[in-house]
């Protein structure tokens, strides 16, 4: 190895060491309670790296040092805080209808964690899961007397409490804050999980009624924002966690999800900004982007009929004629088959939320579920036409609008 290459590798080793050291001590400064653990996981690979430089030379030492850094980061990300008696609020509103309910971190072991949304789906499963692990769960439900709430009362421990909470009702949100504050008192509030969400009728963006756009934004975005803002004083006091359950449709454009995807994209952006702004308070924020899971968010047959009727009645006559009645009726068929392509096992989502709540260094973004990360990678790193082609092959509708079928037939005749 010539002198120039040796010097270059030497300076590179110094640069990597300096960058790693600065990041470690900056983190330790922001979280003094973790200083001992951070020093342990930083000094060990640094000392081993310097030892390898002395024994193996600059090149080999740099390789070993970088490997040790990666191992220490991986082990640090896997480290979880003890549950203690932390408490969570879970919000959930699966459908837009009243008929379907929907100092040091080690010193904060007595904190509460609040979960909003526990009538059905992810919120319901999460409430049970966290209760089994020993959390004090405060489950916000849309219908406190519904079957989902009754099952939680029957199957969970006495630590769990139910809270009547419609995230679109400012009065209920304020009342929830007062009740939670009185419950947690000096022990504090560890986290909030914003899981409330509605889907609406998946359809072409041109066909979706404006009322559906507004409802999706009201529940999926504004509800989560208002709840977060209301409870942030408690989270700042505890240096706790804010977890927002978004969607794969909030990170990449998917056909028929214009209303739902736009609202979840807004929630994802809100999560990212809050993650940056709240870091100075020691509050960690994470967004969850699950792929397709069977949660019941698509609603019931009665709700589909109501949404379909509203969609058709609000369409201009020329638009309804261009698309055709058969194309519009096929939208409900898409909902019927939707659960067949969704995973019934919610454990990947529950595991991601748990990691976001307890990890000493949680990720800013989680993508649980099969195939959740691949479309995001294609969207981010490939030309858009590649992504559009990929999605069209995956999600292309079976039926074609009436005008396009007529045009195709006419072209074949010519």
Burial 93-110 (b: 16+ CB within 10 A, else e): bbbbbeebbbeebeebeb
Q: Sign (positive/negative) of CA torsion 39, 42, 48, 49? A: negative
User: Do the Cβ atoms of 148 and 119 come closer than 8 Å?
Assistant: yes
Beta strand pairing status for 112-116 and 87-90?
A: unpaired
Torsion of CA 373, 376, 381, 384, to 10 degrees: 150
Q: φ, ψ for residue 242 (rounded to 5)?
A: -120, 120
Which candidate in 112, 177, 257, 260 is catalytic? Answer: 260
Catalytic residue check, 373: no
Instruction: Scan for tokens 């209920």, then name that residue.
Output: 172
Tokens of 94: 């699966």
CA 147 to chain centre: 26
CB 369 within 8 A of CB 291: yes
Task: Give me the helices (H) in 2-34, please.
Answer: 3-30
Catalytic machinery residues: 260
């Amino acid at each position: 190895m010539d002198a120039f290459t040796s010097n270059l590798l030497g300076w590179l080793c110094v640069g990597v060491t300096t960058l790693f050291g600065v990041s470690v001590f900056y983190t330790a400064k922001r979280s003094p309670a973790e200083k001992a653990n951070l020093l342990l996981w930083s000094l060990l690979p640094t000392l081993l790296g310097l030892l390898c430089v002395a024994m193996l030379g600059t090149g080999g030492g740099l390789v070993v040092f970088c490997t040790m850094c990666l191992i220490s980061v991986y082990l640090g990300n896997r480290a979880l805080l003890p549950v203690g008696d932390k408490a969570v609020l879970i919000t959930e509103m699966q459908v837009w209808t009243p008929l379907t309910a929907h100092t040091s971190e080690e010193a904060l072991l007595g904190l509460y964690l609040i979960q909003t949304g526990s009538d059905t789906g992810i919120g319901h499963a999460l409430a049970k899961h966290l209760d089994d692990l020993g959390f004090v769960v405060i489950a916000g439900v849309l219908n406190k007397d519904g079957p989902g709430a009754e099952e939680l009362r029957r199957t969970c421990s006495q630590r769990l409490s139910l809270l009547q909470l419609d995230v679109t009702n400012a009065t209920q949100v304020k009342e929830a804050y007062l009740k939670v504050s009185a419950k947690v008192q000096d022990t504090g509030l560890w986290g909030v999980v914003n899981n409330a969400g509605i889907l609406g009728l998946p359809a072409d963006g041109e066909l979706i009624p404006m009322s559906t756009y507004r409802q999706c934004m009201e529940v999926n975005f504004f509800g989560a924002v208002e709840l977060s803002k209301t409870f942030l004083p408690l989270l700042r006091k505890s240096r706790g966690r804010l977890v927002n359950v978004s969607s794969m449709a909030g990170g990449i454009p998917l056909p028929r999800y214009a209303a739902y995807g736009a609202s979840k994209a807004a929630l994802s952006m809100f999560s990212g900004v809050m993650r940056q702004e709240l870091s100075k308070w020691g509050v960690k924020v994470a967004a969850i982007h699950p792929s397709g899971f069977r949660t019941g968010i698509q609603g019931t047959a009665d709700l589909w009929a109501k949404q379909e009727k509203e969609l058709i009645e609000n369409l201009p006559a020329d638009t309804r004629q261009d698309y055709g009645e058969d194309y519009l009726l096929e939208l409900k068929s898409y909902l019927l088959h939707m659960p067949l392509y969704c995973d019934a096992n919610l454990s990947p989502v529950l595991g991601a939320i748990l990691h976001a709540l307890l990890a000493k260094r949680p990720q800013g973004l989680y993508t649980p579920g099969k195939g959740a990360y691949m479309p995001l990678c294609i969207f981010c790193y490939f030309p858009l036409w590649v992504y559009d082609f990929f999605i069209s092959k995956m999600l292309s509708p079976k039926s074609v609008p009436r005008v396009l079928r007529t045009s195709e037939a006419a072209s074949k005749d010519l």
